[in-house]
Chain A
């Protein structure tokens, strides 16, 4: 019976190690990705097409555009939900966001890098130490049919392309939706007697910041679909390959007309994100399963040879 107890313990340890490694998650990144699902048939050009209900959405918080003048500090759209599908030839993105008013100047845009050079998310503006590339912007506005296919490489360089490759369609519905966003408030700090507490060094009144996730019901939702071929013949276009992770950024304008006559958001005053990623699901490569099976057979064969040698008393 020599070897049995240590054999059991060894097996238990091996099993524990295997279990730990098996269950060990890969290093995850705090990066949000739009999963563009591979579908059969034509990609939907209609924002209300039923297929969109079967595609999982990725939600991106939006920031007021504070990066360059003219800035804005409060925007209507606090977050945007994005879905994507492709059929290896065409790709479609559905943007969905709450906007309580339907206005002619309501607009949305997608942005991509063009070529291999990195481009700054703010219209591909020049970078001091890195040679950047241009961006490709797909722009939709509710009072204009279709979409504008544009390029920019720096502020003031936005230009419509000669070859327009993008389609877009938006539908606004007065349906109720719940919007969740972070709300921050500064609350003056008070002592037990209700008196304002001041910084002992500077004499400044002290505040406590309260951050909470607020859920609001908003009536009014825009759904906007952008469609384009995955690859085009236009060198000014961003080109997409399934399985890769191109950068994507979003912008939304609430074109509501204020009493002053100005638009609530227009031009550089908009809700934005910086770069995130999307991934067009690659077609299934069945050879992968075959290679996995071959690996199982080879490993089992090696095991067999080792055990055979061990049983014959020859160390492997």
Chain B
């Protein structure tokens, strides 16, 4: 396999990994970032391939011969023609795509768990974690929280459908299992309107429960949310 072929294989492999591989473990990457990775890979290939005269010939020789049509016949000739026609068309399409008004709304870079205010960091739950308190917390959760967060703590309550963003799914290990009890206390007490700008408070339907519920009830609800969802609060120990 020539160096040019190896470079081409590497480019395709990088594309497949960032386009289809990474989304298996993280959020899908935007095409702009994928293009950046492909560009950086191409730069790396060119730098590596031009370290010596021999490697330069190994890298660029097949490309120049392909572009020049030297020694090509049959399907290779047709392939060259196709590439020469496709490249300008792709450039034209890309230009058109960049200029045409977008049909997608602006990207929403909402931070799901923004930093809480200082006074809510590291607070300990003052309510003893007893079966009675958890039971009372479940009753409060059922009365005040389950219409949105669901009777099974999965964010699938009957009032959840019209809200964007949807209510949190506490069973998901990416939500309350990643947070301390004091964080939940802040979120429940101050509600969606208590979020900072990164949390897009103008969209949140989470009520500001401090105007309706005493702190003790909120702490009990927090215990119920962990118990009912099978999660444990995050600790630093």
Please tell me if the beta carbons of B151 and A186 are within 8 angstroms of each other in the complex. yes
The one of A24, A130, A186, A315 in contact with B31, judged by C-beta atoms closer than 8 angstroms, is: A24
Report B's interface with A, CB cutoff 8 A.
2, 4-5, 8-9, 11-12, 15-16, 19, 28-31, 34, 60-73, 75-76, 79-80, 82-84, 86-96, 99-101, 103-108, 117, 131, 134-135, 138, 147-148, 150-152, 154, 156-164, 190, 192-197, 200-208, 212, 227
Given contacts A288-B100, A299-B87, A299-B92, contact A66 B150 (CB under 8 A): no
Shortest Cβ gap from A273 to chain B (Å):
4
Cross-chain pairs A/B with CB under 8 angstroms, 17 sampled: A2-B65, A3-B65, A3-B70, A3-B72, A4-B73, A4-B76, A6-B2, A10-B4, A15-B82, A61-B161, A127-B193, A127-B195, A128-B190, A130-B195, A245-B105, A288-B100, A299-B91
CB A282 to nearest CB in B, in angstroms, measures 5
A26 touches B31 (CB 8 A): yes
- Measured as residues with beta carbon below 8 angstroms from the partner, the interface class of chain A is 35 or more
Q: Are A7 and B159 in contact (CB under 8 A)?
A: no
Chain A: minimal CB distance from B80 (Å): 6
Q: A111-150, CB under 8 A of B: which get 1 and which 0? A: 0010000111110011111101000000000000000000
Quick one: given A20-B19, A274-B203, A306-B67, are A295 and B95 in contact (CB under 8 Å)?
A: yes
Residues of B within 8 A of A17 (CB): 8, 11-12, 15
A contact patch SS: mixed
CA of A182 to CA of B158, assembled, Å? 8
B205 to chain A: which residues have CB within 8 Å? 63, 66-67, 121-122, 274
Structural contact, A29 and B193, CB atoms closer than 8 A: no
Query: What are the interface flags for A43-78 relative to B under an 8 Å C-beta threshold, 1 for contact and 0 otherwise?
Result: 000000000000000001111101111000100001
Residue ID in chain A nearest B145 by CB atoms: A66
Residues of chain A lying within 8 A (CB to CB) of residue B203: 121, 274-275
